Amino acid sequence: MLQSVAVTAADTNRAIDAVWRIESPRLIAGLTRIVRDVGLAEDLAQDALVAALEQWPESGVPDNPGAWLMATAKHRAIDRLRRNERLDRKYEELGREALVQQEDDLLRLIFISCHPILAPEARVALTLRLISSLTTEEIARAFLVPVSTIAQRIVRAKRTLTEAHVPFEVPAGPELDARLASVLQVIYLVFNEGYSATAGDDLLRAGLCEDALRLGRILGGLAPKEPEVHGLVALMEIQASRSRARVGPSGEIVLLLDQDRARWDPLLIHRGLAALERAEQLGGALGTYAVQAAIAACHARARAAADTDWARIVALYDALAQIAPSPVVELNRAVAVAMAFGPAAGLELVDGLASEPSLKSYHFLPSVRGDLLQKLGRSDEARAEFERAASLTQNARERELLLRRASACSRPGVE
């Protein structure tokens, strides 16, 4: 009998954990609209979670756990507001709470957690904490930084938002563009860290990719008329479709042109192409994410690497360089030029970037140069470039690949 009770309690706790991950973003968003304080809203949501942990093992999980948590948190909010002598005014706001407002609240919370007043790393930490419901420990583990560092970022971010009296609203007019750009940047930063980890022993951190995709899909549903939102979703869906093919049996990196395309996820490709089509149908010039998604779509549509339309990819990089010029874009364009018109043409462009200060510690620059030199038969120079690239990366899998490529370069006098 005791064993049966223990199993039931464990099942209930697992159910509570699952409910919390699903419901907490909307719960915190709704409470933030009521109390106008992200930190306080999170405290109230945590109070509701504690109540669930105390009561549900005995009473069972309610039919509508999200409504139960919200009702419990509201009661806690009323108690807080009574102490602050604002009960009457706020009680009316609580009474006007409706399910139709939850999505608007979630959108407002996304815009708050990604507010430009916060440093980029603080935006990422706060977004993952509030919207993705990751614990401080999970965020720290994902980004390979101490738990205390992430905790401080989150605490300082919430304090900054409170002290700046940032309104709980979706901005309008010109401010919307700037704020939306910040939101998209945060989501893509999270995705990129999952897709190609900056440091550590693994190339991929699938959890971060999934969180970014979920955030992008939520934002796409909440802002259906914003083409760049769909562009970002398209880009992430198509890139994520390659995840299984990017890593070999022993965890080694498999380069794009060597990947088994049968392992690419057709559902994610379909979703990505559909999102790109939505971005295009909304009209106007494509933004940076939509253009990058169009580049990714060229790869997704090619049944084999040899079928890739590299000339179109060069043209798309030309367009990207016009709307978002950067040395990294030029480096990627050089790779496309090399594929379309030969390694010598690409190397000329890469050499033109050699003195670019922002690429001084960017390991992809010597990596690309080494690849092109190897294709031109300049093996000694290629080996040196691969070794230099290996010394610059902090990711163990990338370093392993680069050293392997350096070793594979033929020795002097050897074909």
Residue 74 maps to which CATH number? Answer: 1.10.1740
Pairing of strands 199-200, 394-395: parallel
Q: Which of the residue ranges 80-89, 153-162, 196-205 has the most confident prediction, judged by mean pLDDT?
A: 153-162
- Identify whether 25 is part of a domain: yes
pLDDT in tens, 349-378: 999 999 999 898 899 999 999 999 999 999
- Identify whether 74 is part of a domain: yes
Q: Which residue has the tokens 């994520």?
A: 240
- Identify whether 150 is part of a domain: no
- Identify whether 29 is part of a domain: yes
Cβ-Cβ contacts under 8 Å for 31 (sequence gap 6 or more): 40, 41, 44, 45, 73, 77
CA 388 to chain centre: 29
Cβ-Cβ contacts under 8 Å for 25 (sequence gap 6 or more): 106, 109, 130, 131, 132, 133
Residue 96 has pLDDT above 70, yes or no: no
The band of 81, judged by pLDDT with boundaries at 50, 70 and 90, is: low
What is the C-alpha R_g of the chain? 25
Which helix H or strand E contains 48, and what residues bound it? helix 38-59
Better-scored residue on pLDDT, 261 or 211 = 261
- Identify whether 218 is part of a domain: no
> HSE-up of 134 (CA within 13 Å, CB side)?
26
pLDDT in tens, 302-315: 999 999 999 999 99
- Identify whether 43 is part of a domain: yes
Report the pLDDT value the prediction gives residue 173, as an integer from 0 to 100: 74
The band of 100, judged by pLDDT with boundaries at 50, 70 and 90, is: very low
- Identify whether 11 is part of a domain: yes
Domain encompassing residue 79: 1-97
Residue 212 has pLDDT above 90, yes or no: no
Mean residue pLDDT of the chain comes to 86
Total domain count, the chain: 1
> What whole-number percentage of the chain has pLDDT above 90?
44
The band of 415, judged by pLDDT with boundaries at 50, 70 and 90, is: very low
Better-scored residue on pLDDT, 131 or 162 = 162
Residue 3 has pLDDT above 70, yes or no: no
Report the pLDDT value the prediction gives residue 310, as an integer from 0 to 100: 97
- Identify whether 34 is part of a domain: yes
Nearest to residue 77, comparing CAs of 112, 29, 40?
Answer: 40
Long-range contacts of 324-329 (CB under 8 A, 24+ apart): 324/288, 327/353, 327/356, 327/358, 327/359, 328/359, 328/362, 328/364
Q: How far apart are CA 40 and CA 81, in angstroms?
A: 11
Residue 101 has pLDDT above 70, yes or no: no
